[in-house]
Chains A and B, each alone.
Chain A
């Protein structure tokens, strides 16, 4: 084994396939599992489509930055665009955002496992195993982690096919889909839309992956297909939930997307849900690894150590720090059973904000810079 420990090496540029897979899997993370419960009404299908369209516009803005020369330069691009101090400030903010995102998604997954697979398990164990695996994947380096996105995508995309039986007669009840027009618009439905927006967030983290992503012409294409596929998947899952539960019942179910799979039985294994929950771990792990790497990068920038070589100790240290944060939150501040607890709500808002602001801030900064020079 080579004694070098390099995390941020680059030997090849990742094409549109990776961007597509990454965007799609980032958008399918965690929130989609609780989303239907908060959308409830059939007419929110239009809401999903609408927000999906807005997200597409947002991606157009994001693509403006991603196709600029600043993006390819990665960190140096940021420094050119802002100044080093501002970048460090952003990095500190980024640490916070990424930390919350990693913690909430991991704990969310742990909660699902705890609820459906091992109700008697001590969750800290599972967190440890997840973080250790995430560390293993991440320590192979950024390039290989990004490459894993394709595997994660291929390994989980077919899960959507499992929902086909819910569209077929014995389970599906068409009248659950009515009415398609809203009677009155309540605050709740606005909250649902916010949730869709936040669930669609994630692609903004592509800005951290500058050196690895290209070629320019294909970035937008990859992102658009990824986004469209996510919106399609949201629709499929939501409609399946509606057909299966009906709005009034849906409101009362926690993790409806997971819960409904319990109804399926394959001839060899009953309770297919256990297999699917375990399988879905691959993209949770993949994203944990990716965000750990981003976090480590952000810490290095914030600490002003960007020019010093990456080393195992530093990386391990930051992973352990995340792990400890997670344990603390899990132990004391995570209210299980309550799906929208403080942390999930916090991430809901943070995700929505970053998704809204990151692309536009970058593009405005680019305009400003061009105006000055």
Chain B
């Protein structure tokens, strides 16, 4: 059944390809056909000073109207020469022949000019540069350090990276993805640092993408992932040009998409998901402490509630007597078993989290207050949940936000549920099962075919300097080993070599 479906998809693609290959010449009639019922498309006919008539075809929403007047219409009207096209004062003027070309240019914001006399078609890029200004990053806020973040325009994003890395080795290869969106994709890497094998894999993966809508970075990464079913993202998303530049410098690859303010970084490892740009702002001891705190809180977030369930259902003998008093006291009159109690409370917390996320900021605060305090308090008083659990749920809910990567934050919730089930089943042993399988799973993952659990397994001792702790920058004289970079040293060899 699946095979059949695949075949039809392949057929469809073949047909489209066939259409594309027919190089039908551009004519005004054809263009009229194409733009039929596109009310924002305009076809204008004029004459120059010396009587040569020309037509302009464009989609008015896509182009800059003022500049159309300044740069095309006025020069053309006043032109006295035969080859009036030379009068156009923009940088990109292209001669086009086929209707497909014409369509594409038109849809990407070009004005098509037809010289009636010579029957020549030209495309002039006059894209509407409407875009929002460069703003602070809202997803990865930091106190110190650069504040700019990507916008939806890919040129602007590339500009922000190039400004930080003014070297000619920084290559930007262009691709197109999405049969309908025709999204412009740029793959950036530094030649001579990034491993050519990894670049090749990325190149191959991007060109293999076959889908109609590629609207944002996640869409693209979904097609490039090595492991579709994993909970963990295999590409890091960031909207900070500085972290992009940093990653490029280490030998990673950045993939930028038009119309999304998020870049994909690859290959990454599990441990990258715990690193924040701020790590490199703080003093190294503090940064190391904060980083280990993140790992710890990830661990807490996925095991705290399961541990509560394991202890209260299976291993009462593990609880110190003092704590057992508190637990017995708070649990005696509850109607649910610890497992169901936790499931209910966790689901409620997730609902609150999700609700406050979707609401505007002011409302979400209210939701937080009502959800957190009122429901929590009421649940205890009504006898649905124990006080101890409420405290633990609160802690684990906050702990999971310490992971800087939002995608992982959501993954922890699911992990927590899975381990919770195992814990209710097998107690501590179940939690151990969960964690071991998690480790085995992470060990099996890869990002752009590079091992996901990298500096640990496969083991690269040297990279541990920037793993659980963040060693002082002057110590990091070498690029990460697992990236297998072409150039290994980050310092010029004369002074840097040991």
Q: Do A and B touch, yes or no (CB under 8 Å, in the complex)?
A: yes
Q: Which of chain A's residues have a CB closer than 8 A to the CB of B439?
A: 148, 151, 155, 282
- 4 new A-B contacts, CB < 8 A, other than A136-B437, A137-B440, are A147-B453, A151-B439, A274-B427, A281-B432
Q: Which of chain A's residues have a CB closer than 8 A to the CB of B443?
A: 140, 144, 147-148, 151
A361 CB to closest chain B CB (Å) equals 32
Residues 187-224 of chain B: 1 if any A CB is under 8 Å from the residue's CB, otherwise 0? 00000000000000000000000000000000000000
Are the C-beta atoms of A133 and B437 separated by less than 8 Å?
Answer: yes
Are the C-beta atoms of A270 and B317 separated by less than 8 Å?
Answer: yes
Are the C-beta atoms of B457 and A281 separated by less than 8 Å?
Answer: no
Are the C-beta atoms of A150 and B320 separated by less than 8 Å?
Answer: no
Which positions 266-297 of chain A face chain B at CB distance < 8 Å? 267-271, 274-275, 277-279, 281-282, 285
Q: Which of chain A's residues have a CB closer than 8 A to the CB of B458?
A: 12, 14, 17, 147, 150
Are the C-beta atoms of A113 and B320 separated by less than 8 Å?
Answer: no
Q: Which of chain B's residues have a CB closer than 8 A to the CB of A133?
A: 433, 436-437, 440
Instruction: Check: A117 CB closer than 8 A to any chain B CB.
Output: yes
Are the C-beta atoms of A271 and B436 separated by less than 8 Å?
Answer: no
Interface centre among B428, B440, B451, B453 (most CB of A within 10 A): B440
Instruction: Check: B367 CB closer than 8 A to any chain A CB.
Output: no
B373 CB to closest chain A CB (Å) equals 27
User: Complex: how many Å from CA A15 to CA B458?
Assistant: 9
Q: Which of chain B's residues have a CB closer than 8 A to the CB of A187?
A: none
Taking a contact as CB atoms closer than 8 A, the residue among B227, B426, B451 that contacts A129 in the complex is: B426
Q: How extensive is the interface on chain B, given as a class? A: 20 to 34
Q: List 30 A-B contacts (CB under 8 A).
A: A1-B229, A14-B458, A17-B459, A18-B459, A117-B428, A117-B429, A118-B314, A118-B427, A129-B426, A133-B433, A133-B437, A133-B440, A136-B437, A137-B440, A140-B440, A144-B444, A147-B443, A147-B451, A147-B458, A148-B440, A148-B443, A148-B457, A149-B457, A150-B458, A151-B443, A267-B320, A275-B428, A278-B428, A278-B433, A281-B429
Are the C-beta atoms of A129 and B433 separated by less than 8 Å?
Answer: yes
Are the C-beta atoms of B317 and A278 separated by less than 8 Å?
Answer: no
Which positions 418-465 of chain B face chain A at CB distance < 8 Å? 426-429, 431-433, 436-437, 439-440, 443-444, 449, 451, 453, 456-459
Query: Nearest 3 CB-CB pairs, A to B?
Result: A278-B432, A140-B444, A150-B457
Q: Which of chain B's residues have a CB closer than 8 A to the CB of A325?
A: none
Instruction: Check: B12 CB closer than 8 A to any chain A CB.
Output: no
B450 CB to closest chain A CB (Å) equals 10
Are the C-beta atoms of A151 and B456 separated by less than 8 Å?
Answer: yes
Q: How many A-B residue contacts, CB cutoff 8 Å? A: 89
Are the C-beta atoms of A282 and B228 separated by less than 8 Å?
Answer: no
Q: B residues within 8 Å of A by Cβ?
A: 227-229, 314-315, 317-320, 426-429, 431-433, 436-437, 439-440, 443-444, 449, 451, 453, 456-459
A135 CB to closest chain B CB (Å) equals 11
Q: Which of chain A's residues have a CB closer than 8 A to the CB of B453?
A: 147, 151
User: Complex: how many Å from CA A17 to CA B436?
Assistant: 20
On whether A279 and B432 interact (CB within 8 A), knowing A137-B440, A150-B456, A269-B318, the answer reads: yes
Instruction: Check: A93 CB closer than 8 A to any chain B CB.
Output: no
Q: Which residue on chain B has the smallest CB distance to residue A149?
A: B457
Instruction: Check: A154 CB closer than 8 A to any chain B CB.
Output: yes
On whether A270 and B229 interact (CB within 8 A), knowing A133-B433, A136-B437, A144-B443, the answer reads: no
On whether A1 and B436 interact (CB within 8 A), knowing A270-B318, A281-B429, the answer reads: no
User: Complex: how many Å from CA A18 to CA B449?
Assistant: 20
Which positions 1-18 of chain A face chain B at CB distance < 8 Å? 1, 11-12, 14-15, 17-18
A218 CB to closest chain B CB (Å) equals 13
User: Complex: how many Å from CA A1 to CA B318?
Assistant: 42
User: Complex: how many Å from CA A340 to CA B227?
Assistant: 45
On whether A117 and B427 interact (CB within 8 A), knowing A147-B443, A281-B433, the answer reads: yes
Are the C-beta atoms of B436 and A282 separated by less than 8 Å?
Answer: yes
On whether A270 and B437 interact (CB within 8 A), knowing A1-B228, A147-B458, A148-B457, the answer reads: no
Are the C-beta atoms of A136 and B440 separated by less than 8 Å?
Answer: yes
User: Complex: how many Å from CA A326 to CA B109?
Assistant: 70
Are the C-beta atoms of B459 and A271 separated by less than 8 Å?
Answer: no
Q: Which residue on chain A has the smallest CB distance to residue B439?
A: A151
Interface centre among A15, A265, A270 (most CB of B within 10 A): A270
User: Complex: how many Å from CA A271 to CA B444?
Assistant: 33
On whether A278 and B431 interact (CB within 8 A), knowing A133-B436, A136-B437, A147-B443, the answer reads: yes
Q: Which residue on chain B has the smallest CB distance to residue A275?
A: B428
